[in-house]
Amino acid sequence: MGWQALNLPVEASRAEELADLLMELGALSASVEDADAGTDSEQPIFGEPGMQQEGDPQYWQHNRLTALFEADADIPAILQQLQQQAGLAELPPYRIEPVAEQDWVRLTQSQFDPIRISARLWIVPSWHDTPDPNAITLVLDPGLAFGTGSHPTTRLCLQWLDQSIKGGESVLDYGCGSGILAITAARLGAGHVIGTDIDPQAVQSSRDNAAQNHVVAEFGLPDAMPAGEFDVVVANILTNPLKALAPLLINRVRPGGQLVLSGILDSQADEITAIYGNAIDFGPPEQLDGWVRLSGTRRADS
């Protein structure tokens, strides 16, 4: 059967309005993208949480609106209605392209292969066989929550856990996403494992992934976390949240315990080290593809 895709250049000031109107006129989906993506003129507009300032652009200099329609939709007639309802003097040049019907599930699954973290640790989607039956295998499917093992920040944290968890430790995964770090700690033998995230969907995803991997770990929103200190606290988030959360994360590490921070760009490592340095003795940073992992011990006098 297939579908049709309408590609329409739009002004930034009207991008959202026109996308909404196309949805009302029968589009199955509508999205606005940078028309210059993949070229030297590509324009990044989204930074880390807390970085965007009032007045920053919400769209790009050149925008492309893509709307998906059923194969039998009369797109030229729909565009006439769009022109009338939006009060457009004329329609910009547009393209209509066929979209072939595909097995989207298989196509998506084909993009995710097992990931080898170390000699004994693998992350494997549920539709793949385990590459090494003797390895510790985490079954984890890509989903809405961050953390499949493919991103450098996650890999750096997984490698630290693989090297450092000896068994019986209490572990807090702050900003747990998919729960991958908490679940890995539990599979490696950690004792009491807790994960927390501000996103309820991430909390539910973590619970589902823990059940799929047959591990015991608690997951909840930050306000629901029990009090107490941990042998290991790991936070794979971003630099701005790490700066804001420094007192909280430090106080969650027992004196002599380990703090692991990731989601940090190379250029940001010194700033994070300085913020936490009054309480944490960091070792040398570990770098992967422009990202850094910091790990250190909380001093007894902090």
DSSP 222-236: GGGPPP--EEEEEEE
In three-state secondary structure terms, 187 is: helix
Q: Does residue 172 share a domain with residue 92?
A: no
Q: Does residue 277 share a domain with residue 211?
A: yes
Angle, CA 262 vertex, CA 261 and CA 266 arms, to 5°: 115
Q: Is 226 contained in some domain? A: yes
For 56, the token pair is 């920053």
Distance separating alpha carbons of residues 253 and 196, to the nearest angstrom? 15
Q: Residue 17: give its domain's CATH number.
A: 3.30.70.120
Q: Is 127 contained in some domain? A: no
Distance separating alpha carbons of residues 234 and 183, to the nearest angstrom? 12
Give residue 55's pLDDT: 42
Give yes or no for a contact between 294 and 262, defined as CB atoms under 8 angstroms apart.
yes
Q: How many domains does the chain have?
A: 2
Closest to 183 (Cα-Cα) out of 168, 174, 195 = 195
Q: Is 229 contained in some domain? A: yes
Q: Is 175 contained in some domain? A: yes
Beta-carbon count within 10 A of 293 CB: 23
Per-residue pLDDT tens digits for 50-64: 444 444 445 677 889
Q: Is 119 contained in some domain? A: no
In three-state secondary structure terms, 123 is: strand
Q: Is 124 contained in some domain? A: no
Closest to 279 (Cα-Cα) out of 263, 270, 252 = 252
- Give the CA radius of gyration of the chain: 24
In three-state secondary structure terms, 9 is: strand
Q: Which of 57, 76, 101 is the last residue of a domain?
A: 101
Positive/negative CA dihedral, 264, 266, 272, 276: positive
Q: Does residue 266 share a domain with residue 166?
A: yes
Q: How confident is the model at residue 267 (pLDDT cuts 50, 70, 90)?
A: very high
94: containing domain: 3-101
Q: Is 149 contained in some domain? A: no
Give residue 188's pLDDT: 96
Per-residue pLDDT tens digits for 102-141: 654 554 555 567 888 998 899 888 887 888 888 899 988 7
Q: Does residue 268 share a domain with residue 187?
A: yes
Q: Is 89 contained in some domain? A: yes
Q: Which of 80, 101, 122 is the last residue of a domain?
A: 101
Q: Does residue 160 share a domain with residue 94?
A: no
Per-residue pLDDT tens digits for 218-265: 999 999 999 999 999 999 998 999 999 999 999 999 999 999 999 999
Q: Does residue 88 share a domain with residue 183?
A: no
In three-state secondary structure terms, 258 is: strand
- Model pTM score: 0.66
For 85, the token pair is 């309802």
> Would the pLDDT of 49 be above 70?
no
